[in-house]
Amino acid sequence: MRIRLSEQQLAMRETVGKLFDPDLVPVIRRMGARALGAGPDSPPTAEEQQARQAVWRALTELGTLGTAVPEDRGGLGQGQAELAVLAETMGAALYRSPLLDTVTAAEFVMACGNDHDAYLAEIVGGAPVALAARGRQQADPVTAGALDLDRAADRFRAERHFVCFAPDVDYLLFVGSDEAGGYPALVRSDDPGVTWRRQDDIGRGDLYRVRFDGVHVGAAGWLASPGRAATAWHGVMVNAQIRQAAYLVGLARGALDLGIRYARERRQFGQPIGRFQAPAFRMAAATASVDAASLLVHHAAWQADRGDDAELSALEALSTAADLARQVTTDVVQIHGAVGMTEGCDAQIFYRVAAVDAVWLGRPTELRRRAAPLLRRQVAA
């Protein structure tokens, strides 16, 4: 494995980094947050919607949605290594959007075969997609939720929770399962059988409960047979875990930069508080931990791009990054003191978002439980 970033990774970081200009980052951090007192079905303001669309168009024009799509299918022909850099850059800016879901959807459509290139072209061209796989009381979407499939009427019913940006996407990647296996479909978000309601979360994000009530299967179009869908979904989720880990590492790095900047500016007893041992040692330890977690993420991405089984590395990277994001954002709030939890301070935004995103694809304890048998098997081999 290369420790240094490749030319393609450096180019990705430089190109996307220009979009997340330091002067724009404070606006981007608050772009996906619901205002205090907003109702469960409150739409974003016109200004917020315009800002979201502008950033999305810029990312689409850069080709980020097709980063891991082969060139002969309209993409950039790169891989998870470049996507990890993209996700880490987004995390540092705290950019919340359906981009990671859309990238996962593109990978899943490709994994389902060559019969859905029309969908793939739409996604790469900028059609946002949200994953709708998490059933009621499910901690993560790795195992698809149940569905009620009426084969005679060719329709299905299901309910999915914590679907991000449901009203803003073109498609919902629905994944359901019954005794026969997995059933994936791309469903238009404006399908008459689709309804949504915003859900509250500590991060004040755009999360929704979505109901599919009698959606016509023929109109949706199953992407793969039940057996093939399960295999494809498992592989795609491994890559999604790598990208989520990268996003959390970026989030921790962005929060840490905020804390270091504050420690340089805030003065007590005639000197910056960053010169005192307690905050200085805490930030030094956090910096080392962020760098170590970043190496874990890039190792997992490297394995995935080589075609190796990267599941264990993905679980290790995500569980480490999740714990790290919670710890670093807590430290940064404490470095800010009482001001860290006020509405005007960005430290509390990092803290709240980390509370949700750290468990988005599985709680760290559950991730380690899944990793344990894989590790035993690796040691035994």
Contact of 149 with 263, CB cutoff 8 Å: no
pLDDT of 231 reads 87
pLDDT of 70 reads 94
Amino acid in position 369:
R
| C-alpha closest to that of 140 among 34, 231, 228, 238 | 238
**What is the C-alpha separation between 167 and 56, in angstroms, rounded?**
15
**Where a domain ends, among 196, 225, 254?**
225
> Which CATH number is 278's domain given?
1.20.140.10
Range of the domain at 318: 228-380
pLDDT of 39 reads 56
Specify whether 160 is located in the same domain as 118: no
Describe the chain by its helix, strand, coil percentages, rounded to 5: 55, 15, 30
Specify whether 265 is located in the same domain as 290: yes
Token readout for 259 is 């804390």
Q: What is the mean pLDDT of residues 212-233?
A: 84
- pLDDT above 90 covers what percent of the chain? 64
**Where a domain ends, among 81, 97, 124?**
124
Burial 327-352 (b: 16+ CB within 10 A, else e): bbbbbbbbbbeeebeeeebbbbbbbb
Contact of 210 with 172, CB cutoff 8 Å: yes
> Which CATH number is 21's domain given?
1.10.540
Tally of domains within the chain: 3
Q: Encode pLDDT of 60-73 as tens digits.
A: 999 999 999 999 99
Contact of 272 with 289, CB cutoff 8 Å: no
pLDDT of 18 reads 87
Contact of 196 with 68, CB cutoff 8 Å: no
**pTM for this predicted structure:** 0.94
**What is the C-alpha separation between 139 and 359, in angstroms, rounded?**
8
**Where a domain ends, among 225, 248, 264?**
225
Specify whether 234 is located in the same domain as 364: yes
Specify whether 26 is located in the same domain as 148: no
281 lies in some domain: yes
225: helix, coil or strand?
Answer: coil
Q: What is the dihedral angle through the alpha carbons of 26, 29, 32, 34, rounded to the nearest 10 degrees?
A: -80
